[in-house]
Structure 1
Amino acid sequence: MEVVLDSGSSFTYFSAQPYQALVTALKGDLSKTLKEVSDPSLPLCWKGKKPFKSVLDVKKEFKSLVLNFANGKKALMEIPPENYLIVTKYGNACLGILNGSEIGLKDLNIVGDITMQDQMVIYDNERGQIGWIRAPCDRIPKFGSSLL
């Protein structure tokens, strides 16, 4: 399965099979207090007993997801609820992972900006590898730079 990390894509896109597996798992794991609702913002949304005000509210209702990348070595990316859900102006929690097959991506999977929040990405161009670690990106030390 081909996966691209793309911080320029607002959402994450899975091909049809992984997307359906995710939706099935999410629906089976949800609290009974949540109800699936229609929201013009995104295709799959839920409402709680009272409107969600922020992504911090959804942490009580949704679990973290884990992406398992296997290419010779096992690599996992833990995705907390705030990195795959969006709270809309209507107070609903909507899935920020979309079915890429519906927009012509076929088997391509894109891990977009929503999922990469607070992930420090490390590129090893010499070995052709990429890595990541959860990090509070708003608190990473700033390094000085100068123009040449």
Structure 2
Amino acid sequence: MHTVKEAAQITGLTEHAIRFYTDKGLVPSVQRNQNNIRMFDEESINWLHGIKCLKQSGMPIEIIKIYVDFCLEGDSTIPQRYTLMMEHREAALAKFEEAKQHLAHLEEKTALYQAIMENRSLDTTNPANWDRIKHMHGDVFYASSAGEV
């Protein structure tokens, strides 16, 4: 049997994370000794490794709890676990596409800053200058119903 500290050393998780995961019911085999201290057997360590793996994939705690519950129900839930993983995969792909858009935007911005520093472009990044450059960015600046913005 292992203490929280030992389980942290074995799994590479923090003691805080291990306590959090056990409090959320993600380590169903965790036991408590006569002093109510968490004690981890090899199965508990395996659950912690599994949780760590799922967290590293970006899976939220709530979904990990559903996964744990499915595992506890046994092999009959393999199709549900597969569906859970596929849904998580789709969510990760959507986040990846969003991150690629963010990166493309940042590439444009850094290229603009490079041009500004090399005096090839006016500083269009500073809102204090925007009154002077509205004519350059009609797609960004528009007239509101209360008048020119």
TM-score range, shorter chain: under 0.3
Instruction: Work out which structure has the larger RCO, using CA pairs closer than 8 Å and 6 or more positions apart in sequence.
Output: 1
Bigger strand share: 1
Bigger helix share: 2
TM-score of the superposed pair, with normalisation by structure 2 = 0.26
TM-score of the superposed pair, with normalisation by structure 1 = 0.26
